[in-house]
């Protein structure tokens, strides 16, 4: 069916799936301190998020230079979101902020930022912010575990986890 019949935001699944691969797979433009991530363990399982927590913990203790933060947030957040999407097939889609804001009144008071640039979308009232979770971990440390975030969305279900925005 033509995209102009769509009654929701355009999806950006392929773009974020590609970003997630760049976390350890971009040899020419490596992610800051990617040597701390065991690439062979990044299999999009919930358990792999424990390795991401360890990586973000190291970056929390020794923050990356400012130009590297954006890359870290985009790639790591994309990986986190892809773990959730792959564990709950068909439930979520990646949506860019501008697209989501056009379709959800919940986002009217949420400013656009790196934390909201990519949104895991179920519908106009149920969404998650994996990039925002990575930003929080970098700022606050282990209390903002990406493993816990992923676990809640994958194991406990969207209805209980999301409560609207997350």
CA angle 137, 14, 20 (to 5 degrees): 30
pLDDT band at 76 (very low <50, low <70, confident <90, very high): very high
Tell me which residue has tokens 């699944």.
13
pLDDT tens figures, 77-121: 999 999 999 999 999 999 999 999 999 999 988 999 999 999 999
DSSP state of 27: S
Q: Kindly write down the DSSP assignment for every residue of 106-161, as one continuous string.
A: GGTTSPPSGGGSEEEEEETTEEE-HHHHHHHHHHH-GGG-HHHHHHHHHHS-HHHH
CA angle 18, 21, 159 (to 5 degrees): 75
Per-residue pLDDT, 108: 83
Residue 29 has pLDDT above 70, yes or no: yes
DSSP state of 96: E
pTM of the complete model:
0.90
Mean pLDDT of the chain: 91
Residue 50 has pLDDT above 90, yes or no: yes
**CA dihedral over 102, 103, 109, 115, signed as positive or negative:** negative
């Amino acid at each position: 069916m033509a995209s102009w019949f769509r009654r929701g935001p355009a999806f950006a699944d392929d773009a974020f799936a590609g970003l997630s691969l760049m976390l350890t797979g971009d040899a020419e433009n490596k992610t800051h301190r990617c040597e701390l991530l065991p690439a062979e363990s990044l299999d999009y399982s919930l358990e792999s998020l424990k390795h991401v927590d360890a990586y973000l913990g190291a970056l929390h203790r020794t923050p990356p230079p400012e130009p590297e933060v954006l890359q870290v947030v985009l790639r790591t957040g994309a990986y986190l979101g892809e773990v959730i999407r792959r564990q709950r097939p068909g439930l979520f889609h990646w949506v860019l902020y501008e697209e989501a804001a056009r379709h959800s009144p919940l986002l009217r008071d949420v400013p656009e930022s790196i934390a909201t640039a990519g949104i895991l979308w179920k519908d106009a009232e149920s969404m998650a912010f994996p990039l925002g979770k990575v930003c929080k971990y970098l700022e606050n440390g282990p209390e903002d575990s990406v493993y816990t975030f992923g676990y809640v969305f994958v194991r406990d279900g969207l209805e209980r986890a999301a409560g609207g925005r997350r």
